[in-house]
A = this chain, B = another copy of it.
């Protein structure tokens, strides 16, 4: 599906430090590499709504999300916007070998990022193949997610789009906070407009289709943001996904 399932390594919660180590390096730990990463890292924090970087700006760092949510969006001259990625904790942003940002990166919640200046990071990549292999895996996951999203954008109906997005968020939420009960409850991390930008819809259509899913009993709403998924299989069915709805690994 469009949003990749974050790979939450089991020891993530135990480590208050920068998560890039877990995603990019820890899998094949080496204390020397870790030390070098540790040494060059620095933190940046942003408030909800703040822009991290504008498309086209010089970008002399790479980073990973420690906490909060950021979005990648593209904008046409006339203002039409399309979100092309959602950055969750442990996700990586920035492109070794490119010096300008290709997308607007915006904090949708308060955001903490762990950054590395690009040049030394690139040097580290050159000398430690583990890291580029890890980055390759992550990038391939993102590519799969982007292609899954292309199917959604090109061929799904508004109702299917909404159900797909809810299913993704629900699944991610379950993996982050394993359930006691059978019901899945979560807070939408996006406004209706942000959902629209992600799904290639207008905010009015998003609102209408969310209401329709509520009327049909697929979900329940508490306030505008808190969603209860009454029947996850039904949600997947509405989303038009394959039986498992899962992400091939």
Chain A interface residues toward B at CB < 8 A: 56, 72, 74, 76-78, 80-82, 84-85, 95-98, 100, 102-103, 125-126, 129, 132-133, 135-137, 139-140, 142-144, 146-151, 153-155, 199-200, 240, 242, 248-249
Q: Which residue of B lies closest to A56 (CB)?
A: B248
Question: Across the interface, do A248 and B98 meet the contact criterion of CB distance under 8 Å?
Answer: yes
Question: Across the interface, do A151 and B82 meet the contact criterion of CB distance under 8 Å?
Answer: yes
| Interface CB pairs A-B, < 8 A, 24 | A56-B248, A72-B147, A74-B147, A74-B150, A76-B151, A81-B155, A82-B151, A82-B155, A84-B151, A95-B140, A97-B140, A100-B248, A102-B147, A126-B133, A129-B129, A129-B132, A129-B133, A132-B132, A132-B133, A136-B136, A139-B140, A149-B150, A153-B154, A153-B200
In the complex with contacts A98-B248, A102-B144, A135-B136, A242-B155 CB distance below 8 A: no
In whole Å, how far is A118's beta carbon from the nearest beta carbon of chain B?
14
Q: Bound complex: CA of A150 vs CA of B153, how far in Å?
A: 7
